[in-house]
Each structure stands twice: as structure tokens, then as C-alpha cells.
């Protein structure tokens, strides 16, 4: 896929369209076009063989008018400041769309976690948190896992922060292991959100999710959990891909067996229940539902016209470029945008934060029931806004978010 698209510029392009339709005043538009704070840190880490490496890390807070900044920490060799800025802005809009009381934040470290030991990753994480201590906290900025990080990483975040403040502070981070304040239902929350909005989108088209064909790009946490939950809901997942390759089976893949295969081999390639295919071909299969759950900039002006899916549910952040949006719209593809489609994760992160603050924990059934309420309500609000402004669902979601964040800004006023 083309890699020349700047994700922060893509966010700004959508924001500009939404602001003009909504009638946002110029002062607030200027505020929203840039993050409120960007921190760049150098992270010296001793590697296992005794030599030192200096990594570069970022933490960006886009807007905190509605509450503490909220957003994941990404470990990837391709992390850039503009990517982290875009992701932090998307978190602002995402939190507003699902109506959880957070603003947008995001973090990232330029590294290749697949080539680092657990000890090296722990030392890197602890150094990073020590460097950004001044701007994070349960009432300031609450990190979470993202690409290249997991519950263990969050446990190191919790411990490092708590050691510095001299008290256990469970609510400083979400996506933790259950034994130290994590929430039931958090691991599959983003995938469950994808399932919920996919069902709502199919209903909007007068179709059923059960029996529908699905292709899923990406088989990390979001892609694998989305595939599993869609499979369990009766959909037929016929193709999946990840960095190892792509497979398909027109009769439907056995997702549980595939997840076991991936746990053992670290990739979907070689799974005996499907045949190999070109990864790029997955996006253009004639399916009912396409879930791009991998990286940014996967659906572009180069391949948008070839997409045959009836519904796209954006499990990843920024998988569709601004140039591809009008092509998909003209071809009648219903796109459930990322700031709605993958908001299940931050919604259950909010539930985890609430449970940490209360010291009272919910059963998994309660978590999932509340997630359905939040996601269905957000879906209905996004499409009501879309219809009101006679636009597409992505711009509708941005307008809904702009309305909520700008309202908070007006209530609070500007400190000068």
C-alpha cells in the first residue's frame, strides 16, 4: 500500500470538512487543528548484551476539555510524531462519539518489539514512563495498550508510576492484567465493538449479520477478536490476513482453530483450513463486511474502486485515506468510521478506570451489556447526525464529536 499519506494531515482534512458543515467558529477550529501538548523524550536503555541504545519516544495530548487525556502506547519501528498526533486527535473524537469523559492522548516509541527481549522491553517501558511522569496520571492522562504493547507492558507502567508517587495507583493505566485492577471483557472489547456496529450497519441495510460473508485484514488483538466474535455470531469469515500472509476459505474459516494455529506459529500463513492468497486481494473480495483491522492507509485512491464489500467496519485507526472516501461513497459502500467502529476498546477502558476509582469490580456480563448500550447509542447518534447534515458517516461522526468537544470548550471558556 502507498505510504505517502500523512495520518495527521488526513485527520485535519476530515476535520476541516466537518467544521465547515457544522459551522464551527474559527478560533475553535484553530485549537482543534493542533495538539495541546507534544512531548519528545530520549530513552537510554541498556540492552541484554551490555551496550546502550537510545530510543525516541512521544506522548501527545490533543484536547482535554472533556476529561483526562486517554490513549494507547505504540511500540513500532515506523512510529512518527505525526502518526502519534493523529492518533491522539482521533482519540479526542472517539471518546466524544461514544460519550466517555476523556480527551485524546497517544504515545509511541520508535523500536522493534519483536527483536527485543522481555528485559529490554521492561527497561524501555520503565524509562519511558519515568520521562513522561509529569504529564500522566489518573486525572491527567491515562495510557493503554496499542500496537506492540500488551497487558504486561501496562503492568510495568502501573508499577513504575506507583513507585514514583509512592502509592499504588491502579487508575493510571488501563488494559492491565486482571490481578492488578484490569477489567473483565477488556481484551476483546475492541473486537466486540466491531461486532456490535457491524450488526447495526447490516440492519441499516435491511440485512442480517448471521450468514453474512466477512473478510478481516489484520489478525492481532483487534482482527482476531473481531473475527472470532463475528464467527460466533453466525457470520462466515472467509478470509483473513496478517504480516505472515493471507488465507481464504469460501466455506468459512474455523476461527477457533486458526487462533490456535496463530498462537503456535505466530502467523496465519500455513493454516491447513484455508488456501493462501495475495494479501492485497483480501480488500477487494466480494464480501458483505470488510474489517480493515491492521494499519493506516490501507484503502486508498489506488484500490478503493475495486472494493466490493457492502459494509466496511474500520477496526484499525485511519485505514482509509481522504482520497478514497468519495470513491467508496459513490460506489454505495457503507463505511462505519474508525472513531465509532473501534471505540469499544476505549469504552471498556473507561469502565476499567471507573472500577479502579471505585474499588468495585463488575462481572463480565455487566461489562458487555454496558458496552452494547454505549456502542448502539453512539451508532444511532452518528447516523442521525449523518442524516441531519446530509453527509457520509465519517463526517457525521466528526460533526457529532465536534459538537460535544466544542460545547465543553464553551462551558469552560479560555484561560488567559
Residues acting as catalytic residues: 106
Task: Name the pairing type of β-strands 275-277 and 289-292.
Answer: unpaired
**Residue 53 bridge partners (DSSP):** 45
Residues in the chain: 416
Given a contact cutoff of 8 angstroms between Cβ atoms, the answer to whether 35 and 89 are in contact is yes
CA distances from 212 to 194, 235, 359 (A): 15, 5, 41
Reduced to 3 states (helix: H, G, I; strand: E, B; else coil), residue 299 is strand
Pick from 307, 301, 315: nearest CA to 288: 307
d(CA 347, CA 174): 11
d(CA 65, CA 291): 31
Pick from 186, 93, 78: nearest CA to 382: 93
d(CA 416, CA 413): 9
d(CA 284, CA 288): 11
CA distances from 14 to 299, 318, 359 (A): 16, 11, 40
The dihedral built from the CA positions of residue 57, 63, 66 and 67, taken in this order, carries a sign that is positive
Order of all β-strands in the sheet with 37-46: 37-46, 52-63, 103-110, 69-76, 141-145
Amino acid at each position: 500500500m502507498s505510504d505517502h499519506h500523512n495520518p495527521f494531515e488526513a485527520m485535519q482534512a476530515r476535520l476541516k470538512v466537518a467544521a465547515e458543515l457544522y459551522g464551527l467558529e474559527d478560533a475553535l477550529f484553530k485549537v482543534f487543528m493542533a495538539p495541546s501538548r507534544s512531548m519528545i523524550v530520549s530513552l537510554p536503555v541498556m540492552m541484554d548484551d551490555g551496550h546502550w541504545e537510545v530510543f525516541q519516544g512521544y506522548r501527545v495530548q490533543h484536547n482535554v476539555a472533556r476529561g483526562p487525556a486517554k490513549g494507547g502506547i505504540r511500540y513500532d519501528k515506523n512510529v512518527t510524531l505525526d502518526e502519534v498526533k493523529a492518533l491522539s486527535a482521533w482519540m479526542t473524537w472517539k471518546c466524544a462519539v461514544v460519550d466517555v469523559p476523556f480527551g485524546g492522548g497517544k504515545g509511541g516509541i520508535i523500536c522493534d518489539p519483536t527483536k527485543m527481549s522481555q528485559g529490554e522491553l521492561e527497561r524501555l517501558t520503565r524509562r519511558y514512563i519515568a520521562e513522561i511522569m509529569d504529564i500522566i496520571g489518573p486525572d491527567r492522562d491515562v495510557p493503554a495498550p496499542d500496537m506492540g504493547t500488551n497487558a504486561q507492558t501496562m503492568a510495568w507502567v502501573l508499577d513504575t508510576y506507583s513507585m514514583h508517587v509512592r502509592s499504588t495507583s491502579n487508575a493510571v493505566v488501563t488494559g492491565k492484567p486482571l490481578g492488578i485492577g484490569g477489567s473483565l471483557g477488556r481484551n476483546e472489547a475492541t473486537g466486540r465493538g466491531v461486532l456490535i456496529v457491524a450488526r447495526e450497519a447490516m440492519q441499516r441495510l435491511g440485512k442480517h449479520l448471521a450468514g453474512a460473508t466477512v473478510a478481516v485484514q489484520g489478525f492481532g488483538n483487534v482482527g482476531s477478536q473481531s473475527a472470532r466474535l463475528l464467527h460466533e455470531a453466525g457470520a462466515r469469515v472467509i478470509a483473513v490476513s496478517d504480516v505472515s500472509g493471507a488465507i481464504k476459505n469460501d466455506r468459512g474459516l474455523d476461527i477457533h482453530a486458526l487462533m490456535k494455529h496463530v498462537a503456535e506459529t505466530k502467523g496465519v500463513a500455513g493454516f491447513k483450513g484455508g488456501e493462501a492468497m495475495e494479501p492485497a486481494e483480501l480488500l477487494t473480495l466480494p464480501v458483505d463486511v470488510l474489517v480493515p483491522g491492521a494499519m493506516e492507509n490501507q484503502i486508498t485512491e489506488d484500490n478503493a474502486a475495486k472494493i466490493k464489500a457492502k459494509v466496511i467496519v474500520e477496526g484499525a485507526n485511519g485505514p482509509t485515506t481522504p482520497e478514497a472516501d468519495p470513491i467508496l461513497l459513490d460506489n454505495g459502500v457503507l463505511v462505519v468510521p474508525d472513531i465509532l467502529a473501534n471505540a469499544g476498546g476505549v469504552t471498556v477502558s473507561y469502565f476499567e478506570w471507573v472500577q479502579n476509582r471505585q474499588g468495585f469490580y463488575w462481572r463480565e456480563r455487566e461489562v458487555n451489556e454496558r458496552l452494547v448500550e454505549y456502542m448502539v447509542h453512539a451508532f444511532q447518534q452518528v447516523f442521525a447526525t449523518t442524516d441531519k447534515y446530509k453527509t457520509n458517516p465519517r463526517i457525521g461522526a466528526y460533526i457529532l464529536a465536534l459538537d460535544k468537544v466544542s460545547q465543553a470548550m464553551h462551558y469552560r471558556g479560555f484561560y488567559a
